[in-house]
A and B are shown apart, each in its own frame.
Chain A
Amino acid sequence: AQSVTQLGSHVSVSEGALVLLRCNYSSSVPPYLFWYVQYPNQGLQLLLKYTTGATLVKGINGFEAEFKKSETSFHLTKPSAHMSDAAEYFCAVIFSAGNTPLVFGKGTRLSVIA
């Protein structure tokens, strides 16, 4: 079955530290990959996406992610965490062309400590 795995339901980092949120998916065919962020009591906001082309994708708020086909991964990083980055982050995948609903990971809650 097609699945998206986010390692770590909760990640805690210090302000200014590196943020690394992990996402792996189950597919042998390169899918379409997305990261969304959800702030408390709000909807999901797109951070970045990979469809084709360059495997290192830059998004909003200083986040970036790298598509690694051999590792079936799409980890999200940010060099320096800010207090405002505290939120829930979701990795989502469209597994094949023409099959467009998003399959989401369980989410990772990011806490930033002052």
Chain B
Amino acid sequence: DSGVTQTPKHLITATGQRVTLRCSPRSGDLSVYWYQQSLDQGLQFLIQYYNGEERAKGNILERFSAQQFPDLHSELNLSSLELGDSALYFCASSVSGQEETQYFGPGTRLLVL
């Protein structure tokens, strides 16, 4: 158990819908990262937050957005969902957002039908 929690574990929805994925980092970690794992693209970095502020942005679609709240939990919002958004979405956390270990949650498996 990494100490990073993600909810829900599974999500099934339809094209065009909007969903919210939630992540709680390890106690004491200030930085949260979101990654997407799909069969064709592999593991790709989406976005990073540090203490409530966006720090880095990767291959995140404009239909996707995220935020980190004062209690440090983070939410990833996916809207206008397409079939190709079906993937495993991981949240990771680290202490300071520098070059240290990132600890991964169990992931949210999203299926868009």
Report which A residues bind B (CB closer than 8 A).
Answer: 32, 34, 36, 42-46, 49, 51, 90, 92, 94, 97-107
Bound complex: CA A44 to CA B36 (Å): 12
Contact of A104 among B31, B43, B97, B105 (CB under 8 A): B43
Distance between B54 CB and nearest chain A CB, rounded to angstroms? 12
Report which B residues bind A (CB closer than 8 A).
Answer: 2, 4, 31, 33, 35, 42-45, 48, 55-56, 58, 90, 92, 94, 97-107
Contacts of A107 in B (CB 8 A): 42-43
Contact of B106 among A43, A46, A102 (CB under 8 A): A43
Q: Are B101 and A34 in contact (CB under 8 A)?
A: yes
Q: Are A43 and B2 in contact (CB under 8 A)?
A: yes
From DSSP, what is the main secondary structure of chain A's interface residues?
strand
Q: Are B98 and A100 in contact (CB under 8 A)?
A: yes
Contacts of B43 in A (CB 8 A): 90, 92, 102, 104, 107
Contacts of A105 in B (CB 8 A): 42
Nearest residue, chain A, Cβ from B47: A101
Bound complex: CA A97 to CA B102 (Å): 15
Q: Are B99 and A97 in contact (CB under 8 A)?
A: yes
Contacts of A94 in B (CB 8 A): 99
